[in-house]
Amino acid sequence: MLLKLFDHLTWADGEAVRALDALPEGSAERAHAVMTYAHLAAAAHVWLTRLERRPPAHSVWPDLSLADARALADESLAGLRRHAGRDMGELAAEVEYRNSAGRVFRNTGADVLMHVVLHGSYHRGQLALLTRQGGGTPAATDYIAYLRGAPSPAVAPGTSARTGSG
């Protein structure tokens, strides 16, 4: 199941990036969306480095272009997906790490991977809102849309569509 969730996450990130990339250069919404996506990419990077017990090259709120953030996300998600493919015994092993405030924590590899998946969903919701506020059409990134192979069209609040997204 973790592998399917990482496949969805990778697909959904690509859809969200395509939608926000259509926002006008220099708009406040685009700037905020790029900053949010850079955080999403960097957080995946940081979690991957924690699993691999190595220091991160980026902070969790880096100043990255959209293209650089996408490249970082692609690299990090591929590494995280490799971890998600490990056997349950390996995923149950605890990983000790320091958070960005320097506090030491221990979590299982499986819990870290689930956090990355859920963290991505949270921030893609923010990206959808920023895309809508910037005049764009948010991507339909629901898991069920991914499974169906073709997302339903995004529908503005207060309107209706025959198929909807659910």
The pLDDT value given to residue 149: 86
Quick check: 28 and 139 in contact, CB under 8 A? no
Provide the CB-side half-sphere exposure for 43 (13 A, CA): 18
Give the count of beta carbons closer than 10 Å to the beta carbon of residue 103: 8
Average pLDDT of the chain, as a whole number: 90
pLDDT of 2 above 60: yes
User: Of 155 and 61, which is predicted with more confidence?
Assistant: 61
Query: Does residue 163 lie in a domain region?
Result: no
Query: Does residue 70 lie in a domain region?
Result: yes
Ranges of beta strands (E only) in the chain are: 94-98, 104-108
Q: Give the three-class secondary structure for 120.
A: helix
What's the average model confidence in pLDDT over 134-141?
94
The pLDDT value given to residue 94: 96
The pLDDT value given to residue 153: 46
* pTM metric for this prediction: 0.86
Provide the CB-side half-sphere exposure for 94 (13 A, CA): 6
pLDDT of 164 above 80: no
pLDDT band at 150 (very low <50, low <70, confident <90, very high): low
Query: Does residue 162 lie in a domain region?
Result: no
pLDDT of 159 above 60: no
- Nearest CA among 135, 112, 119, 149 for reference residue 15: 149
Query: Does residue 20 lie in a domain region?
Result: yes
Q: Give the whole-number percent of the chain exceeding pLDDT 90.
A: 86
Query: Does residue 10 lie in a domain region?
Result: yes
- Tens of pLDDT, residue by residue over 68-111, are 999 999 999 999 999 999 999 999 999 999 998 999 999 999 99
Query: Does residue 156 lie in a domain region?
Result: no
- Tens of pLDDT, residue by residue over 18-43, are 999 999 999 999 999 999 999 999 99
Count of structural domains within the chain: 1
Type of residue numbered 16 = A
CATH of the domain at 139: 1.20.120.450
pLDDT of 160 above 80: no
Query: Does residue 164 lie in a domain region?
Result: no
Domain that holds residue 132: 2-148
Type of residue numbered 97 = Y
